[in-house]
Amino acid sequence: MDTIGFEPHDHSSCIHDCIAAVDTQCRTAGLQFTPVRRRVLEILLQEHRALGAYEILDRLREEGLGSQPPVAYRALDFLVKNGFAHKIERLNAFIACTHPGEHHAPVFLICRACDAVAESQREPTQGQLGQAARDAGFVIERAVIEAEGLCPKCQQAGAA
Amino acid sequence: MDTIGFEPHDHSSCIHDCIAAVDTQCRTAGLQFTPVRRRVLEILLQEHRALGAYEILDRLREEGLGSQPPVAYRALDFLVKNGFAHKIERLNAFIACTHPGEHHAPVFLICRACDAVAESQREPTQGQLGQAARDAGFVIERAVIEAEGLCPKCQQAGAA
DNA sequence: CGCCTCATGTAACTTTATAACATCACGCGG
DNA sequence: CCGCGTGATGTTATAAAGTTACATGAGGCG
């Protein structure tokens, strides 16, 4: 189980590497990694937290990259559909994927104090959820798993 | 692991029993189970599926029980806060709880074809999610776990 | 060139949710 | 019985999130 999100890290290189990886994957898959899409992903990577569509749109507008909601939503749809970003349902917000391209069954740990979001992986068809589904005769195609609580930093800060 | 939702059952008695159980619990806990709150819970129980706040509001309006959004949202807040209903984040909709009052860690199985929702229970601090949280030093206070897929009926109906 | 496909630009709108403030009903101490 | 506090409700307005619809543009390909 691999978790990324609450540890310090070299952020500028993480952005660069991620963009490069997505770029490569898009070429391979015949997807168009256009300026707006790239910029949206960069914004998400820079913040390293979940951003609302309208927060992203505000940035795009400042940069002259589009000013109407569909611009942001279309770019986000592209990123989410292709596994380069995720939507956090609990927050109505979006976050860059930390494992772009890998087979995906993301799990999120959301700090309620500082809004940091860590992404981890699991296999939803296994474990308790998988068991519940099998008991009910249900076939899981997709799972939203979002835990809310306190990250290590905020626990120490006493954000009880 | 206990799952309710995809099997046929005696619906009118399930509504009645559930209302009675909630009524009792409210008395015990000193909570006011007012007409609007009761009616909203009844509506949710009758439908036995996730309803949007505005769908509920429409019903209330027809019945003269209030016509403005806050009326529905306040009743829903009350029900959710006290564990008598749940919000399905994925659908921005609400559903009656099938285990009112019990200690709660609900898991939902949502059919994408017929919108039926089954509720099951699990212990979020265990299993893969719990492990991921421990690895990250994260303390889980609440978890949204919503699986999307096909219920047994819709699998048979060939809703591929 | 003409046509198709996919991406973008833009206006208008729908759906979901909350803020703010007035009013009402009930219980409880004086 | 009154006055007051608390919690519920009524109502207006507005914010936040997301979509529809239609026009335009940029590349690929026969």
What pLDDT shows up at residue A146? 95
Which residue in the block uniquely carries the two structure tokens 């099998």? A134
Q: Mutate which of A7, A129, A140 to disrupt the B interface (most B C-beta within 10 Å)?
A: A129
- Specify which residue's alpha carbon is closest to the C1' of nucleotide D21: A70
In single-letter form, the type of residue at position A70 comes to P
Element holding A77 (H helix, E strand): helix A69-81
CB contact under 8 A, A133 and B143: no
> Chain A closest CA to B21's CA: distance in Å?
25
Question: Given CB atoms, is A139 within the 8 Å cutoff of chain B?
Answer: yes
Mean of pLDDT over chain A = 89
Q: A128-132, A148-152, B66-70: which has the minimum mean pLDDT?
A: A128-132
Residues A122 and B127: beta-carbon distance below 8 Å = no
Q: How confident is the model over A110-122, as pLDDT tens digits?
A: 999 888 999 998 7
> Residue A10 CA to C15 C1' — how many Å?
41
Of B5, B127, B137, the CB nearest to A127: B127
Asked if residue A49 lies in contact with residue A115, where contact means CB atoms within 8 angstroms, the answer is yes
pLDDT at residue A3 is higher than 70: no
Q: CB-CB: which of B126, B141, B151 is closest to A149?
A: B141
d(CA A96, CA A117): 10
Calpha distance B106→B98 (Å, rounded): 10
The pLDDT value given to residue B159: 52
Residues of B in contact with A128 (CB under 8 A): 1, 107, 122-123, 126-127
On whether any CB of chain A is under 8 Å from the CB of B73, the answer is no
> Per-residue pLDDT tens for B69-125?
999 999 999 999 999 999 999 999 999 998 876 677 899 999 998 889 999 987 766
Q: What percent of chain A has pLDDT over 90?
A: 68
Is residue B3's pLDDT more than 80?
no
Do you know the residue count of chain B? 160
Asked if A127's CB is within 8 angstroms of B150's CB, the reply is no
| The pairing of beta strand B139-150 with beta strand B106-111 | parallel
Q: Which nucleotide minimizes the distance between its C1' and the CA of B31?
A: D7
Reported as a single tens digit per residue, the pLDDT across B22-48 is 999 999 999 999 999 999 999 999 988
Residue A35 contacts strand D, CB under 7 A: no
Q: What is the pLDDT of residue A151?
A: 93
Question: Where is pLDDT greater, at B11 or A19?
Answer: A19
Residue B148 has pLDDT above 80, yes or no: yes
The residue-averaged pLDDT of A23-47 equals 94
Rounded distance between C-alpha atoms, residue B100 and residue A45, angstroms:
41
